[in-house]
Amino acid sequence: MVLIRITSKVFCLFLPAVLLVFPEHALAIQTHGAPEGIYVHQMAHIFFIASLCYLFWDIRRSSFPIKSWRYLQYFCILMILWNIVAFTGHIVEIHIDSADIIKDNGYLSIHIAGPITTIKLIYYVAKLDHIFSVPALICLYLCLRSLYLTSVAEEKE
């Protein structure tokens, strides 16, 4: 049991370190074949937003007393925001020329070619969609962990 805990802690520290050292393939916005691919992908974002809104509403309506459900609500809010940012990024990406974005050394060194317009700025901000998705996944983890610990405590009683 102790070996499993140590292994999982080492893995949880090792994986983020590897992703920080080799970020070349960590593209936040992915492109799809025109025009059907982007239409289907955008509809998926809309469906995901609707699903998360319903989940948020249902949890709020049921008013579960445990804090894990609050984490799930935070997850829903953050993922709704992520979907909005990603949806906007896909729309703006259509209006961006490949020469407008300069990638010197991969994903971490992206620059906007001048002059800076509103469309270019919105696209650049939309590329930072992980600002919402990473905290959302942390909230989902905390929710699942809390539910697990609650069920373990109930089993011991």
- pLDDT band, residue 39 (cuts 50/70/90): confident
Block residue for tokens 């239409």: 39
Task: Give per-residue pLDDT as tens, 57-90.
Answer: 988 888 777 788 889 999 999 999 999 999 998 8
Backbone angles phi, psi at 111, to 5 degrees: -135, 155
Please tell me the predicted confidence (pLDDT) of residue 132: 92
Mean pLDDT of 20-41: 65
Angle, CA of 137, 135 and 79, to the nearest 5°: 65
Please give the distance of CA 4 from its chain centroid, rounded to a whole number: 28
Looking at residue 79, its pLDDT comes to 96
Residue 78: its pLDDT value, please?
96
Residue 39's contacts (CB-CB under 8 Å, 6 or more residues apart) are none
